[in-house]
Amino acid sequence: MEYSCIDDTTSTTSESLSTSTPSPKKTTEKLSPPAMRLYRMGSGGSSVVLDSDNGVETESRKLPSSKFKGVVPQPNGRWGAQIYEKHQRVWLGTFNEEEEAASSYDIAARRFRGRDAVTNFKTPAIDNDGDDAESAFLESHSKAEIVDMLRKHTYADELQQSKRRFLDGNGNGKRCESTTIMTSPHGNDGVLRPREVLFEKTVTPSDVGKLNRLVIPKQHAEKHFPLPAMTTATATTNPSPTKGVLINLEDRAGKVWRFRYSYWNSSQSYVLTKGWSRFVKEKNLRAGDAVCFERSTGPDRQLYIDWKVRSGTELISTPVQTVVRLFGVNIFKPNDVAGECGGKKRSREVDLFALGCSKKQAIINAL
DNA sequence: AGTTGTGTTGAT
DNA sequence: TCAACACAACTG
């Protein structure tokens, strides 16, 4: 595969992926456990709560707390799951059922903190042969992978498949071990891997504006980043109207950027959406600058992203920041000519970059 | 326009 | 570490 192809991480999509979950019907679809008699209506910061005992409507701006650890209410009546590590929150996704969120937390807790982690529900029993299949499964995947599965609601499936593969493998005498370790093969060795330039795009004002997306020129998109063919009916008319995939690209500093890549029917264009605005912000991309897509010529086929700043009529690749690690802290000298009001902001962000980037990215990298 | 999940902060 | 709250970023 040319690029890491991971399905959507948003729960709305995940529902459609999971085998049987019905699509979320706002907030009134179900009456949860008897203990939870209030259900939320509407969305936004404040909400109306219906007391089902007497039908009296009361204004409340408070979201209902969850009785489960790691579970937080969402404004639309769904539930989020999160776990903390290294003073950072790791988001585990959103769920229709509070219990589902709670058990997602449990899974993450076991992966992050071991089998003895405090959880909402009891830890599954150890197999009769003494082998704990689920623990093995958890251990054979990175934290990031487990989090991905939780967010995509595919954990149960993957666990099941893994068990099946394990059994098959044993039957054939070959051990089926850890699946893809989500490697970012930029071994921080400073070695520049051989790579080819796929294409370069000079970014437009809208590429760096409020739309939070980068349009990938069609010819390049179809040549280098073909979206998986769609499975349902309308496949004839549209190039590839999928929900999109997540692609990982590494920048010259070795930082891995994850973008959603999809096809927008409305504009008939291929776009990078989620994650793109962060890239624009961190690199301080301006209209006229260029982004360059590259790929390793080695077997890993790692994708890379690079950027060039427009200087007059020329595009210049800014030198890699010299980062010096001193007492465990990255020190470095900003190399930009920010100019006007953007200047101050930019150097602040560059500092963040030097220190290990945006908080979220720091989490992902730490996993 | 509706929803996710991040930024932030105060508590434990 | 943790959850509450607000709301920017996302989605298509």
The residue that leads in pLDDT, A73 or A354, is A73
Q: How far is the CA of A220 from the C1' of C5 (A)?
A: 43
Q: Are A224 and A293 within 8 A, CB to CB?
A: yes
pLDDT of residue A361: 33
Provide the residue type at A178 as one letter: S
Q: How far is the CA of A78 from the C1' of C6 (A)?
A: 17
Q: Among chain A residues 298 through 357, which have CB within 7 angstroms of nucleic chain C?
A: none
- Name which of A33-37, A216-220, A307-311, A363-367 the model is least confident about: A33-37
Sign, CA dihedral A46-A89-A261-A201, equals: positive
Q: Which nucleotide is nearest to A72 (CA to C1')?
A: C3
pLDDT band at A289; cut points 50, 70, 90: confident
Mean pLDDT for chain A? Answer: 66
Q: How far is the CA of A61 from the C1' of B3 (A)?
A: 18
Interval A103-108 mean pLDDT? 94
pLDDT band at A67; cut points 50, 70, 90: very high
Q: How far is the CA of A171 from the C1' of B4 (A)?
A: 43
Interval A311-331 mean pLDDT? 56
In this predicted model, what pLDDT tens digit does every residue of A125-162 receive, in sequence order? 665 554 578 999 999 888 888 998 899 888 998 898 88
The residue that leads in pLDDT, A346 or A164, is A164
A275 CB inside 7 Å of strand C: yes
Nucleic acid strand C: bases within 7 A of protein CB: 1-7, 9-12
pLDDT band at A208; cut points 50, 70, 90: confident
Interval A29-56 mean pLDDT? 35
Q: Which nucleotide is nearest to A76 (CA to C1')?
A: B3
A239 CB inside 7 Å of strand C: no
Tell whether the model's pLDDT for residue A14 goes beyond 90: no
Interval A296-319 mean pLDDT? 81
Architecture of the A71-167 domain: 2-Layer Sandwich (3.30)
DSSP tag of A185: -
Residues of chain A with CATH 2.40.330.10: 195-227+243-308
Q: Which nucleotide is nearest to A71 (CA to C1')?
A: C3
Q: Report the share of chain A in percent with pLDDT over 70.
A: 56
In this predicted model, what pLDDT tens digit does every residue of A159-193 receive, in sequence order? 988 888 777 655 443 333 322 223 333 444 445 66
Q: Which nucleotide is nearest to A43 (CA to C1')?
A: B2
- The H-or-E segment that residue A345 falls in is helix A342-354
Residue A340 burial (10 A CB sphere; 0-12, 13-18, 19+): exposed
pLDDT of residue A27: 32
Residues of chain A with CATH 3.30.730.10: 71-167
Q: Among chain A residues 9 through 28, which have CB within 7 angstroms of nucleic chain C?
A: 10, 12-13
Q: Report the share of chain A in percent with pLDDT over 90.
A: 16
Measure CA to C1' and name the residue nearest B4: A10
A86 CB inside 7 Å of strand C: yes
Interval A106-119 mean pLDDT? 92
A218 in the Ramachandran plot: left (φ > 0), alpha (ψ -120 to 50) or beta?
alpha
* Selection from A73-77, A79-83, A270-274, A333-337 with the highest mean pLDDT: A79-83
Token pair 């349902």 is at which residue? A232
- What CATH homologous superfamily does A195-227+243-308 map to? DNA-binding pseudobarrel domain (2.40.330.10)
Which has the closest alpha carbon to A243: A232, A251, A254?
A: A232
Tell whether the model's pLDDT for residue A246 goes beyond 50: yes
